Amino acid sequence: MAPEIPNKKYEGKSVDIFAAGVILFIMYAGNPPFEKATPTDPYYKILKEKKYETFWKAHSRKRPVGFFSESFKDLFQRLVAFEPSERLKIEEIAGHPWIKDAVCTHGEIKDEFVVRQKKLDAVLNDRRAEMEK
């Protein structure tokens, strides 16, 4: 829930952008970025105060180096900004480098599925050989 909702200052688009930022983080990281967007939530307080380095250091502890790219960090921070007026507009999101760089070509997708199919075939062949023993 966007931080302005408890104060009954609901503006649909900016609230939806905030929610999209939270959902994006969950989909990417596998866990929520904070519990509640309130000044008492430690992680959201860090974001509200724009102490981004601290926020990302905390969320990167058990992840490989570089898990959160600078482009992803920028996008997320701008989606969940405390002030609704500081949040990106939908047009800006569509043009953000993290979104633009994330789109794969048809060929890249096809190549990835070929690699995955080969891995799956190898596993299935190993299982068949094990069952025949």
In whole angstroms, what is the distance from residue 127 CA to residue 130 CA? 5
Which CATH superfamily is 5-102 part of? Answer: Transferase(Phosphotransferase) domain 1 (1.10.510.10)
- Per DSSP, 5 falls in state G
If 0-12 CB within 10 Å is exposed, 13-18 middle and 19+ buried, where does residue 7 land? exposed
**CB-facing half-sphere around the CA of 80: CA atoms within 13 A:** 30
Residue 91: both structure tokens together: 């047009």
pTM: 0.73
DSSP 57-108: HHHHTTS-TTSS-HHHHHHHHHHS-SSGGGSPPHHHHHTSHHHHHHPPPHHH
Please work out, in degrees rounded to the nearest 5, the angle formed at the alpha carbon of residue 69 by the alpha carbons of 53 and 90: 95
pLDDT of residue 39: 81
pLDDT per residue, tens digit, the chain (133 aa), is: 877 777 666 678 889 999 999 999 999 999 999 998 888 899 999 999 999 999 999 999 999 999 999 999 999 999 999 889 999 999 999 899 998 876 677 888 899 899 999 999 999 999 999 999 8
Q: For the chain, what are the domain ranges?
A: 5-102, 104-133
